[in-house]
Chain A
Amino acid sequence: MTRTVRAFPAMGTHCEVTVDAVAGSDVLADLAAQRVGLLEECWSRFRPTSELSRLNERAGHGPVRVSGDLLALVQVMHRAWERTSGLFDPTVLAAVRASGYDADFAEVIARGSGPASIAIGYPAEVPTPGMAGITVDGGTVSLPAGVGLDPGAIGKGLAADLIVAEMMAAGATGAMVNLGGDIRFAGTPGSDEAWVVSVVDERIPVDAADRVIRWVSFDPGTSAAVATSTTLRRRWPAGNRSTVRHHIIDPTTGAVADIDLVQATVIADEGWWAEAAATAALLLGPQAGPAWLDGQGLSYVLTDPSRVIEPPIGVRHD
């Protein structure tokens, strides 16, 4: 039995793949890393030549034939939008850009502030049209004029899903893909070990010795995903630098969301759904968020600035 772990930067974040196989886990792990790059090339909104950027450019110009990977992304965007009643809305692209997150995040931070068009101290309110007007038919996608898709973190969740599925289909005995905290795993690690995921408390400074808020283990053979959405990461100064923005947009206003929760971690069967549900819970807040997650049968850890909210993991939803 062999195990290979590969860590590398991609998709604007830190990525890690772990592959267990009877042999050749190193080759599979390298292929998994390669696949992350291929998906980023297809889905990145920061690359003007990506297929997604080209699709966004053609909004209002009728159906565009797309690759299988881009079609899969648009399809899960649709499902996530429906299942969250529009709270997860990938059509926030214009609003995200207007808020200042209009380039790769490292570039936004390096620049030091949002674009000058933003009124100081006020969020830019840009309509978020939702997925209703977006048509998927066969291998084509049509975007209404003025609508752009932002894959946000759902892209990372789906990428982790696809890569783990492909590694397992190739014969890996276990695989875990972690794309900036969006984790998907399947199979059995090593010799019947458990999968263990640590949930980091984003309220604790990054240089603190121990930032783990919960350790969660999963039986060998379990296929599951864990995703965390937070307003405490991907923050940047805007305007006169007295305002700090985060990247979560409230689709009901098109503005940077004003929410009480600061972090939502959700455990689900698939990465894209865990990510969409985490974003929805964050927007719903400390009262409605847990109720909605309970209704979806999802386990979670939520935090507001002063406390942790969670069902007893492994009790309520087991």
Chain B
Amino acid sequence: MYPSSNDSHDRQVRHGRPNPTRVEDIRARSVRRPSRGRTSTVGKIASASLATMTCVGLAGVLAVRAAEASTAAESAAGASTAADSTQSTTSTGLTQEQLDAYAQQLDDEAQRLADYRSQLVDVAAQLQAAAGSQGLQVRSSGPGASAATRPGKPSNRQTKPRPAAKPSAAPAQGKSQGS
């Protein structure tokens, strides 16, 4: 069950190319909300494609369910009523309402993260200004380009810890306990 080499991650990435038509692009759906006004052209295209796919898929589901619910004697109006009363589902078994709620949640979380980053940028600017007025230099690489999506690869470089005596006053101190 163990991987035999360190390149299996790369293999996974290469071999795992999904069929783009199957991607459950909830985030893309969330960013196409017109009220937000943050949609790029590419996003619009992707959203439009997904919307089309969703409509087609939904129509298929509704058609099947409507057909199941209808008898031969039912009129077209009756079939339509049956379709309306059927809760639409996606390929994952989630209802459209659930997907919408999830999309909204992701949208909210993305907004909170954007707010956080915006505040971080503001603080960085203030620190630069404060340092400038004090004749100091602040190393700021810009929090907008945070490492959030680029976790570093561990190196074998060691961090040179030293055994230490119990400090009498150690203001920058951490306690590592079990987790």
Contacts and interface: CB of A to CB of B under 8 A. Distances in A.
A79 B1 contact: no
Contact of A317 (B16, B119, B158): B158
A217 B164 contact: yes
Nearest to B126: A24
Given A65-B24, A269-B154, A269-B159, A130 B123 contact: no
B26 to A, nearest CB: 6
B15 interface: yes
A74 to B, nearest CB: 10
A299 B6 contact: no
Contacts of B158: 297-299, 317-318
Most buried by A among B23, B131, B148, B179: B179
A240 interface: no
Given A85-B3, A218-B162, A297-B158, A71 B175 contact: no
Given A86-B3, A137-B17, A217 B27 contact: no
Nearest to A212: B166
Contacts of A202: 177-178
Chain B interface residue count: which class?
A: 35 or more
B55 interface: no
Contact of B3 (A38, A65, A68, A81): A81
B34 interface: no
A128 B102 CA distance: 28
B160 A178 contact: no
Contact of B23 (A23, A140, A165, A190): A140
A124 interface: no
A23 to B, nearest CB: 4
A202 B91 CA distance: 48
Interface residues of A, number: 123
Most buried by A among B92, B140, B149: B149
A22 B127 contact: yes
A96 to B, nearest CB: 14
Interface in A118-162: 128-132, 134-137, 139-140, 142, 153, 156, 158, 161-162
B156 A170 contact: no
A66 B110 CA distance: 11
Interface in B83-138: 91-92, 102, 105-106, 109-110, 112-113, 116, 119-121, 123-124, 126-128, 130-131, 134, 136, 138
B72 interface: no
Interface string A57-84: 0100111111111011001101101110
A270 B17 CA distance: 29
15 contacts: A24-B123, A31-B120, A72-B150, A135-B12, A166-B148, A169-B147, A171-B128, A172-B127, A176-B172, A185-B172, A193-B172, A200-B176, A267-B159, A269-B155, A269-B159
Given A173-B138, A224-B159, A234-B179, 15 more contacts: A62-B24, A64-B26, A66-B27, A72-B150, A135-B18, A136-B12, A158-B151, A170-B124, A198-B173, A212-B166, A226-B174, A230-B178, A269-B157, A272-B151, A297-B157
